[in-house]
Structure 1
């Protein structure tokens, strides 16, 4: 049961930006902020996690406000229970800590659509994160609601909010100071006028949209060259307080990729370096928690959905445990405690339980439990049927199909299974750009079913305009021409517990087709537990009405965190929606999570066994030498060349070692501007390090400056990668960003560049 914190009136204070330092009541103050998100922590556990942060040595909690969880339908706001952000702030103040509020409207955070509501996409021509009148109108309404709840919690009014952020890393999205000014005004008009407003960005982008009346802060991760990160900011604002508003303690996990970790010692040394220079910081994340339900987002390019666990390799684990990383950091922060700061003992973790293996033997086959259909002549995305999340089934009758006909689904968002007359023919995965399937000969009138699961809307970059289902058309491709399929019956499968509960369940062990599964299990005592889903296929889990997240057999996550506060002594209910079907319909509860177990069938690298690129027959468009040092470099060719395939050949490294590494890479068009990368594919990379992390070649265009391609230590130069683009384009050069660490490990020296209209030979 959630009990509200009694709010007591406190004395007002002042908080401001002084000369190279923040000032609390006129005295120098270093912000030591712990980022965590109320949405990713059971409300019953909020205060425990706050106390964990205080015992770590932090003085502030940094939080996003997630617009889309508060306004799931237009005009209907929910700030109660698990969504009670004001109560969370009260609990932080009860524990004598401050709040940095980050209300967006866009927040990223590996969260569905970066926190923007899905229903914005019902408007055909909506332009998110721009001066689009409808977007700004809805943003203002949300900001005003936040202001009603939180403006009185500014530190100047006796509350504990000391700073409010305007937008989020906008320089990585666009250049539009007018838009930033509109969002700033919306924040001010909501009542946040008495404390500093700030905007955060990367060191390479912070000046693109910087407003003169806002504080500027920089985001970067562990291992970064801190001098280099703040160099430009100190040049343009020599007297500003310095702050790393996101110091990344770890990283987030994607389905089908190795679990991410970051070195604890490197993190601690980076924080010490900042504290020694009077630089404030917010540790993103200090406690990641869990992205319960359907709220996980995705990155693009290439489309890659997030796991439910948001453990983040943070100092406080997903289940709220103090990790070795926690104790290393606590030891440091105790040495830098404020004179008035009392660092309490570390709270005990919540108790754990095991749940013996039990069978899930009630089944409701999806195709025998269809909801009422909706009819549409043309294919439309999920949003057009007023559906935000879940799965959607498109059904139509086929004309006579001859053998060799190709089914084209344009575009699959995000994971589709294709059936004809109830027989499974194949699947399509957006991550791999799959959208065609070769059909057998089929009779006229055969029933085509396309079941599409929405895996999470893109949360970063221009691809946030991410409609779900099938977004454009379905065609049959033959030698005689193309035929678009029409007249669809559409069935919507939302993620609501009531929808899953209402199915007609029968006693059955398991099915190979999509189905809902149900069982009950008894407990003598409750505690936190990790539900083992290793034998299941792909889908979602509800326990006692709570949607605890997604599972997918490809890993790396194989367990789901089940908070003990949501379990009951006695009988408990579990419902599992499995779109693939389980190998065994059993569940057990473990005391340890499984977060790094990839399926053997998943390949993350971009080179087949024995494949070797042949460049001896190719003529380079450019050869040259890159400069040593952090930051972007630009290379312009003597002339632009048309092509669809680009290869970079790295001949040696600046430090003479074996490894090559690139953080980000752009090709330049004929006008010298970066070309879009949304439909890029890495079709070859000679070496990729995957044993010690996710250093595959697609990291060069994942929009993240702190992630990078790195070759294996044992593989010697030369190194190569090939980019395939969707269409032929004019290429005039490239931009390259080395790793952000000091000395730029793996920085390439001599190179050759190749451009071709036809594929390279192997």
Structure 2
């Protein structure tokens, strides 16, 4: 193979000594069946890209401590070589943390078996395991650097660390670990947002900025250019769309804004990576959850990207391709777009066998107290806690602190409650019980949080279970614990029996098994509209989680995992289907919500009453898209924070906020880990996912926006945040939405602060 060079030049990157603008397509190899890797790479090349950008997912390659797997679907070197076959370069982002809406941000769950571990810090154990893993990555990829005849041109150090903390010594040690793994011949870089990149920058790394469509590109790079006027500019994540959360509206972003931003960067020789160019699917249990406020992400990682979830060509793809064809090397033309993978419909069929979960439990483990599943050596799935109750002739309250993430409570085999972490539910009223009544608490773990401090996300019951009556509160002890993992070997080995019509009217969790016949193959989308919540396996492949609340109502089934003749499907349904029947559709259903109010922050008819309240501060924001910092001139004890928008700079009746931070006595932002929105007078939940909790989701490209309807577009608008703990604050910071010339930029405002809740009537 021909050896080459990739270097940092004067205001440009240099490929073999010549100016080169990186046009990277972000693709994630675990989210694409290996059989389709080449198809997706070719489709990205036909779009006009010259590079593939990818994360390396630590927990994917080391699911158990010390057991590494880079074979088959996990053969990352083979993926890079396929890119080289099609004359595509590669940018590698090996973490150790990657975010990516992926389980625990890519960190292995078994790190949490050490209760006091410090993640993404210079914790000796964390750093030791990081070094060992990075060395394994080096064995796979270091010889594929461009200087050795490969196609890897850049490697990233950590990922968006400014959103997590400020710790240059940690970043420096990760840099040294990356170099020690053999990545010494090409530029190393770090990425962050323009508002926080200075917190952790190292002199010997390339600095890049992440932002989304509609952003002011001059503003995004202004500070970087002041510090490094001769550096090549790169947007290392230009967000083409966004990811979906269970229970929230399907996310889309404008193709027009995407193309406009890309054109501006190309005309100014600014390199970029389009995140995502093709999102794919978080198969199995790999979908993560956002933070703050636990918000699990859907199985589909369609991302409203130019290449759809199944590799299909979208209208956005054609818009981008029409732009990029004008920025090819002299004499070059775009290759033909590869044919899409054929899709098939599968007629409706029944799952004819059932294996009730409670009839198929594994051996129990004894434990005096409840503990998270990690301390029972379990990474994913569900966990059942069982104990006996003392007799009580009175109603009592069961208090669970805290159950992660979706919990069903059974008394003598009868379900009495369902609790959702999304809604902050944690208590159940118990009826009078006889001596020795059996209490079962079944907790399903969804994805671990993949952002911020939420990566410390133990699953199962994380603290304790208590019984409260009129006079006492006591902790329940002496538990039997049953681990229910998600691997196919565990799933198939159940005692299945024939399903009889009308069975399981008690809505108990159960495995359902069936078969369907095919005489031709193709991609399809398994329709889950009859089912409640759970996971699906087809021919031994776990194709992902489903949940009736939506917005995703189908699961992508790659045709390469199907076979002519008989195919097996197993569905674990946690609360029973309306009927045990499904079908294969030719198109996905990603945008139907059903009966969930977890994301609304105002009850019907509820109004805020500020009569008699005195603002702690009254002021006006500037018409500027950057962070604005307000100081009260005094320290204020705070539990509840209310921002009231009185007017907007555009004269419209809307209010919008991308991010809010509160300043502590030391002038630094206070933790937002326990924040909750308790009231927003208005928020857009139908035409867009502009929910109020976006103001502290640590994502500068998402925002709260009041409802778009004209009837709701009148000032004042209020948002109230419960900090979850008492704080002393001296001011706050406000970040408007990133897009220029958009409504909702707040002008005049009041701030109210209380130690007790505001009056809602």
Query: Does the alignment reach a TM-score above 0.5?
Result: yes
Match 2:89 to one of 77, 82, 98:
98
| Cα distance in 1 between the residues matched to 2:638 and 2:179 | 49
User: Where in structure 2 are the equivalents of 1:273-292 lying within 5 Å?
Assistant: 273-292=264-283
- Structure 1 gaps of 5+ residues are 1-9
* Corresponding residue number in structure 2 for 1:4: none
* Further displaced range: 473-482 or 671-680: 671-680
Q: Partners of 1:110 and 1:226 in 2: how far apart? A: 25
Q: Is the 8 A contact 2:524 2:586 kept in 1?
A: yes
Question: Which residue, 112, 119, 132 being the options, matches 1:141?
Answer: 132
Q: Indicate if the aligned counterparts of 2:647 and 2:715 stay in contact, CA closer than 8 A.
A: yes
Which of 293, 301, 309 is residue 284 of structure 2 equivalent to? 293
User: Superposed, which structure 2 residues align to 1:47-126 within 5 Å?
Assistant: 47-126=38-117
Report deviation, 1:757: 2.2
Structure 2 residue 625 is matched with structure 1 residue 634: no
Aligned residue in 1 for 2:723: 725
Give the TM-score of the pair, scaled to structure 2: 0.98
CA distance in 2, matches of 1:476, 1:339: 74
Contact between 2:423 and 2:598, CA under 8 Å: does it hold in 1? Answer: no
Residue 235 of structure 1, aligned match among 194, 207, 226:
226
User: How far, CA to CA, are the matches of 1:661 and 1:695 in structure 2?
Assistant: 9
1:218 aligns with 2:209: yes
Is 2:11 the partner of 1:20? yes
Q: CA deviation at 1:111?
A: 0.2
Corresponding residue for residue 5 of structure 1: none
Runs of 4+ in 1 over 6 A off after TM superposition: none
Q: What residue is the counterpart of 2:141 in the other structure?
A: 150
Cα distance in structure 1, aligned partners of 2:632 and 2:468: 40
Comparing 341-350 with 272-281, which one deviates more in the overlay?
A: 341-350
Cα shift at 1:617:
2.2
Mapped to 2, the partners of 1:348 and 1:583 lie a distance apart of: 38
Alignment partner of 1:696 is 2:691:
yes
For residues 300-324 of structure 1, what are the alpha-carbon distances to aligned partners after superposition, in whole Å with 9 as ceiling and x for unaligned? Answer: 2210101000000000000101100
1-structure distance, mates of 2:498, 2:305: 42
For 1:358 and 1:420, locate their aligned partners in 2 and report how far apart those are by CA, in whole Å: 34
Residue ranges of structure 2 left out of the alignment (5+ in a row): none
**Which secondary structure state, in structure 1, belongs to the residue aligned with residue 197 of structure 2?**
coil
Deviation at 1:726, TM superposition (A): 2.0
Query: Aligned-pair distance for 1:54?
Result: 0.5
Cα gap change, 1:341 to 1:374, in 2 (>3 Å): farther
Listed as ranges, the matches of 1:44-443 within 5 Å are 44-339=35-330, 341-443=332-434
Over residues 607-661 of structure 1, what are the superposed CA-to-partner deviations in whole Å (9 max), with x where a residue is unaligned?
Answer: 1222221112211111111112021111122433323222111100011111110
CA distance in 1, matches of 2:394, 2:740: 59
Separation (CA, whole Å) in 2 of partners of 1:678 and 1:477: 28
* Stretch of structure 1 that moved more, 622-631 or 503-512: 503-512
TM superposition shift of 1:670 = 3.4
Partner of 1:7: none
The question of whether the paired residues in 1 share the 8 Å contact of 2:247 and 2:596 is answered with: no
* Aligned position for 2:577: 582
Residues 502-546 of structure 1 deviation map (CA, whole Å, 9 limit, x = unaligned): 000111245211000000111111100000000101000000000
Structure-1 residue corresponding to 2:668 = 673
- The 3-state SS of whatever aligns with 1:114 is helix
CA distance in 2, matches of 1:319, 1:47: 13
Aligned to 1:653: 648
**Pair 1:551-2:546 in alignment:** yes
Supply the distance in 1 between the matched residues of 2:188 and 2:31 (Cα, whole angstroms). Answer: 25
- The Cα shift of 1:554 comes to 0.3
Q: Give yes or no for contact 1:42–1:563 (8 Å, CA) kept in 2.
A: yes
Question: Which range moved further: 88-97 or 631-640?
Answer: 631-640
Q: Which residue of 1 aligns with 2:734?
A: 736
The answer to which of 516-525 and 595-604 deviates more is: 595-604
- The alpha-carbon deviation at position 250 of structure 1 amounts to 0.2
Deviation at 1:669, TM superposition (A): 2.8
Distance 1:479 1:643 in 2: 32
- Aligned-residue offset at 1:743: 4.4
The structure-2 alpha-carbon separation of the partners of 1:199 and 1:601, relative to structure 1 and needing over 3 Å to count, comes to closer
Cα RMSD after superposing both structures: 1.1
Give the structure 1 partner of residue 476 of structure 2.
Answer: 485
**Deviation per CA, 1:289-348, whole angstroms, max 9, x where unpaired?**
000000000012210101000000000000101100000000000001122644201011
SS in 2 for 1:207: helix
SS in 2 for 1:268: helix
Asked if structure 1 preserves the Cα contact closer than 8 Å seen for 2:96 and 2:106, the reply is: yes
SS in structure 1 of the partner of residue 136 of structure 2: helix
Deviations 1:198-230 (A, max 9, x none): 000000111100000000000000000100000
TM-score (norm 1): 0.98
The C-alpha deviation readout for 1:11-64, integer Å capped at 9, x for no partner, is 100100100000001100000000010000000000000000000000000000
Query: Aligned equivalents of 1:280 and 1:642: distance in 2?
Result: 46
Q: Which residue of 2 aligns with 1:749?
A: 747
Q: Partners of 1:420 and 1:668 in 2: how far apart?
A: 47
More displaced stretch, 465-474 vs 593-602:
593-602
SS at match of 2:285: coil
Q: Which stretch shows the higher mean deviation, 631-640 or 601-610?
A: 601-610
SS in 2 for 1:539: strand
What is the alpha-carbon distance in structure 2 between the residues aligned to residue 535 and residue 92 of structure 1? Answer: 40
Tell me the alpha carbon deviations over residues 442-469 of structure 1, each in whole angstroms, 9 at most, x when there is no partner.
1221111000000010000011011110
CA distance in 2, matches of 1:744, 1:326: 25
- 8 Å CA contact 1:264–1:325 kept in 2: the answer is yes
Of the structure 1 ranges 741-750 and 696-705, higher mean CA displacement relative to structure 2 is found in 741-750
Q: Distance in 1 between matches of 2:167 and 2:394?
A: 52
Q: Post-superposition shift, 1:746? A: 1.5
Q: Does 530-539 or 725-734 show the bigger shift?
A: 725-734
Q: CA deviation at 1:603?
A: 5.0
Is the 1:630–1:744 Cα contact (8 Å) retained in structure 2? no
Native 8 Å contact 1:629 1:743 kept in 2: no
Measured in 1, the distance between the counterparts of 2:749 and 2:467 equals: 45
Number of residue pairs aligned between Structure 1 and Structure 2: 753
SS at match of 1:266: helix
Residue 440 (structure 2) aligns with: 449
Distance 1:221 1:379 in 2: 43
Which of 606-615 and 277-286 deviates more?
606-615
1:591 matched to 2:586? The reply is: yes
Q: State yes or no: 1:567 paired with 2:562.
A: yes
In 2, the alpha carbon distance for the partners of 1:296 and 1:168 equals 18
How many Å separate the matches in 2 of 1:194 and 1:394?
Answer: 53
SS in 2 for 1:384: helix
Tell me the equivalent position of 1:37.
Answer: 28
